[in-house]
C-alpha cells in the first residue's frame, strides 16, 4: 500500500491476522520477519553492500525458524545450500523513486559493460533488484518475508542437501500457512537509516489497533518518531 506524493512513489506491506489475534505460530513467523527488518535497519548505512543486508535478513529468519523447531543445523550451511531462497524467494528490497521499482539497480552499456555491480548468482541474492553499496540519499524498501510455499518445500524435501535441515513433521503444520512480509520505505542518511514508514508493526500494536480500530495508535507512533533517526 502507499500513495504518491509530488510524483514520488511509496511501497508498504503489512501482514496481520484476519481475526485480529495472532496465533503462536503466526507470532513465531511474524516476529522472525520483524527482527530481520529491525536488524537490517540497524546495520544499513553508506558503504554497506545491499547483498550483505539481504543475507543478514536471511540469517535472522533462519535462526528464528531453527529456534522455533522447524530447522536443524548450522545457519551458514543452510545459506550455502540455498535454503534461504526456499523461505524467501525474492530480494530484500528495491530502489524507490518516481517508479515504485525505480531505475538504477543494474546500470550498464549495450556493450555489456556495467556501471554498477552485476547481478549476483548465489541463491537468494540472485533475486535482488540491485547489488549496489548504499549511498546517502538513496531511498529503498526493506521487505523481508518468510513463506511456506508447497512447491518450494517439496523441492527442498526432495533435495538431500536441503532436506537435512528440515524438521518435516514440524513444517507440516505450516502447509497452507501462507507467509509474512513486512515492507518499510527507508532513507539512507549520512550515518544510518531514517524509516519513513509509520504504521503499527509489533504484534502488540497490530492487535491493539485491530481490536480498537483507533487511529490514536498511528498518531502516537507518528509523535514518537518525529525527529527520530536510527544511526549506525
CATH number of the domain to which 174 belongs = 3.90.230.10
Cα–Cα dist 46/38, whole Å: 17
CB 179, CB 29: distance < 8 Å:
yes
Does residue 227 lie within any of the structural domains? Answer: no
C-alpha cell at 53: 543486508
Does residue 12 lie within any of the structural domains? Answer: no
Number of domains comprising the chain:
1
Q: How much is the pTM? A: 0.87
Lowest mean pLDDT among 69-73, 142-146, 228-232: 228-232
Does residue 135 lie within any of the structural domains? Answer: yes
| CA 78 to the chain's CA centroid | 18
Who's near 54: CB < 8 A, 6+ residues apart?
91, 92, 124, 125, 128
Does residue 220 lie within any of the structural domains? Answer: no
Does residue 32 lie within any of the structural domains? Answer: yes
Does residue 228 lie within any of the structural domains? Answer: no
- The pLDDT of residue 229 is above 70: no
| CA 207 to the chain's CA centroid | 21
pLDDT digit string, tens, across residues 81-102: 999 999 999 999 999 988 888 8
Who's near 98: CB < 8 A, 6+ residues apart?
7, 8, 9
CB 93, CB 140: distance < 8 Å:
yes
Provide the domain limits for residue 187: 20-209
Amino acid at each position: 500500500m502507499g500513495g504518491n506524493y509530488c510524483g514520488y512513489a511509496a511501497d508498504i506491506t503489512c501482514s496481520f491476522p484476519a481475526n485480529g489475534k495472532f496465533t503462536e505460530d503466526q507470532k513465531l513467523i511474524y516476529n522472525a520477519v520483524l527482527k530481520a527488518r529491525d536488524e537490517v535497519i540497524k546495520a544499513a548505512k553508506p558503504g554497506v553492500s545491499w547483498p550483505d543486508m539481504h543475507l543478514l535478513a536471511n540469517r535472522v529468519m533462519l535462526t528464528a525458524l531453527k529456534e522455533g523447531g522447524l530447522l536443524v543445523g548450522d545457519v551458514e550451511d543452510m545459506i550455502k545450500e540455498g535454503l534461504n531462497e526456499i523461505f524467501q524467494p525474492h530480494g530484500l528490497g528495491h530502489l524507490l523513486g518516481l517508479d515504485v521499482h525505480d531505475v538504477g539497480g543494474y546500470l550498464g552499456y549495450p556493450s555489456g559493460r556495467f556501471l554498477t555491480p552485476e547481478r549476483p548468482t548465489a541463491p537468494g541474492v540472485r533475486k535482488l533488484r540491485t547489488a549496489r553499496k548504499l549511498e546517502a540519499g538513496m531511498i529503498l524498501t526493506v521487505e523481508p518475508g518468510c513463506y511456506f510455499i508447497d512447491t518450494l518445500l517439496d523441492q527442498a524435501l526432495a533435495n538431500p542437501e536441503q532436506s537435512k535441515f528440515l524438521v518435516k513433521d514440524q513444517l507440516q503444520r505450516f502447509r497452507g500457512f501462507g507467509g509474512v512480509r513486512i515492507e518499510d520505505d527507508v532513507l539512507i542518511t549520512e550515518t544510518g537509516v531514517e524509516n519513513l514508514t509509520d504504521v503499527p508493526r509489533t504484534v502488540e500494536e497490530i492487535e491493539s489497533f485491530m481490536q480498537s480500530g483507533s487511529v490514536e495508535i498511528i498518531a502516537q507512533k507518528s509523535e514518537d518518531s518525529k525527529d527520530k533517526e536510527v544511526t549506525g
